[in-house]
Structure 1
Amino acid sequence: MRTPQVWSNFWHFIAFGFGSGLAKKAPGTWGTLAGLAVLPLLYLLPLWAGITTIAFASLFGVWLCGRVAKDLGVHDHGGIVWDEMVGIWMTLILLPHTWIWWVLGFVLFRALDILKPWPISVLDRRLGGGLGIMLDDMLAGAIAATLLYILWQAELPFFNGLS
């Protein structure tokens, strides 16, 4: 495995979440936090443009993560966190833009990404390259988004007050 050139290689810098993936402990969590830092920029866009941007970031991520993994000579280097950034954007784009939904989204997305329940685990085991790196986090983001959106729309007393 080669050493990432995060500070001298533009593609490594992006794939490593602007450096957040260099964290010694829990780089995926730090990458997710970096994704949260970018999220307000997506909220400035109309919803359709935010969703389009996330779709583009997902497709770009397949290429980016595959390229950087190949550069490093490893399937899925723990420091590659572009996938976590896209996953948290997917989780939160349709939810209210409040801190409590960010916390709920962060916790649920990270739990799904770390625990990798079925069908996330199947994608993680069976797919390689950039597609494999991206898809398990995208699925975790889609599942987290769906569950949280259902809670929001259910108008349960506790969750209804969180909007």
Structure 2
Amino acid sequence: MNKPDLSNPWHLLAFGFGSGLAPKAPGTFGTLAAIPFYLLLQYLSLPLYLLVVVVASVVGITICGRTSKDLGVHDHGGIVWDEFCGFWVTMIAAPTGWLWVAIGFILFRMFDIWKPWPIDLVDREMDGGSGIMVDDLIAGVYALICLQLLAYFFH
């Protein structure tokens, strides 16, 4: 296995600007690093926010795939661009405020770690950048649904 090179733009993005280099729980640190970007993105109109998330996710397939290939390992734990995108999916049309950011964070991490069906299947069966990205995007959709239900009933 090769080491990530943060001077390489693909690696820099894949490793969440270095957040994926955390010695423990890199996915959690990657998701935390996604929050400041979300705080900037939340002011976009919904269509523009969705466009950014779709572009980041589609480009993420290449980002994660190239970095994974460079490192010689399928889904290196430090690759966290998928957590960035999954969290941003979770936060689509989320109510404003730190409480909702925290709830979104917890829900996304819960689904990303727990991996209920079909996340576990995608995680096992898909290869390359798509395999790295898609399971987190599905976790983001599950967390989005839960967040929106909570917002509907309690906001």
Give the TM-score, by structure 1 length: 0.92
Question: Displacement, 1:93?
Answer: 2.1
Partners of 2:14 and 2:63 within 8 A in 1? yes
Deviation at 1:97, TM superposition (A): 1.5
Aligned ranges 1:16-27 → 2 under 5 Å: 16-27=15-26
SS at match of 1:76: coil
Whether 1:115 and 2:103 are equivalent positions in the alignment is: no
- Give, as a single letter, the amino acid of the residue that structure 2 aligns with 1:71: D
Q: Which amino acid aligns with 2:2?
A: R
Give the unaligned 5+ runs of structure 2: none
Percent identity of the aligned residues? 54
1:44: how far off? 2.4
Relative to the length of structure 2, the TM-score reads 0.97
Secondary structure of 1:96's partner?
A: coil
- 1:148 CA drift (Å): 1.3
- The answer for unaligned runs of 5 or more in structure 1 is none
Structure with the greater alpha carbon radius of gyration = 1
Q: How does 1:120-131 map to 2 (within 5 A)?
A: 120-131=119-130
Structure 2 equivalent of residue 71 of structure 1: 70
Q: How does 1:45-84 map to 2 (within 5 A)?
A: 45-84=44-83
Measured after TM superposition, the shift of residue 151 of structure 1 is: 2.0
CA distance in 2, matches of 1:37, 1:151: 23
**CA–CA distance in structure 2, aligned partners of residues 92 and 49 of structure 1:** 14
Partner of residue 140, structure 2: 141
